[in-house]
Amino acid sequence: MQELHDALLELPCRHLLTILDCCFAGAFRWASLSRDLEPRVKIYKERYDRFISDRAWQVITSAADDQKALDALARRGKTSDGKHSPFAQALFEALQGTTDENSNLLMRVGDSPLTALAEVLPIPDETTTTLQNLKQNPQALVTLIQRWKTTHPDAKLLLAIDQFEELVTLRQTDSNPEKKSHNRNTEQQQFQKLLKEVIQHCSDSFNVVVTLRLDFEAQFQEGILKEFWENARFVVPPMTQDELREVIEKPASEKVLYFEPPSLVDDLINEVIQMPGGLPLLSFTLSELYLKSVKERRDNRALTDADYKALGKVIGSLTKRADEEYNALVKKDKAYEKTVRQVMLRMVAVGDEARRRVLLSELEYPDHKVNWLVYI
Ranges of each domain in the chain: 2-61, 86-232, 241-317, 333-375
Q: What percent of the chain has pLDDT over 90?
A: 27
Q: Where are the alpha helices (DSSP H) in 298-376?
A: 305-310, 313-332, 336-346, 368-375
Q: What is the pLDDT at residue 195?
A: 96
Note the pLDDT of residue 127. 62
Query: Which regions in the chain score pLDDT beneath 70?
Result: 1-2, 20-88, 92, 94-102, 124-127, 171-185, 298-299, 349-357, 359, 375-376
The predicted model scores a pTM of 0.62
pLDDT at 130: 85
**What are the CB-based long-range contacts (under 8 Å, 24+) for 20-26?**
20/59, 20/60, 20/61, 20/62, 21/62, 22/61, 22/62, 23/62, 23/63, 23/64, 24/61, 24/62, 24/63, 24/69, 25/61, 25/63, 25/69, 26/1, 26/61, 26/69, 26/256
Asked whether 153 and 174 are in contact (CB, 8 A), the reply is no
At residue 183, the pLDDT reads 46
Question: What's the pLDDT tens digit per position in 160-175?
Answer: 999 899 898 876 544 4
| DSSP-assigned letter for residue 350 | T
* Tens-digit pLDDT profile for residues 195-243: 999 999 998 989 999 999 888 898 899 999 999 998 889 988 888 999 9
Indicate if the alpha-carbon torsion angle 59, 62, 63, 66 is positive or negative.
Answer: positive
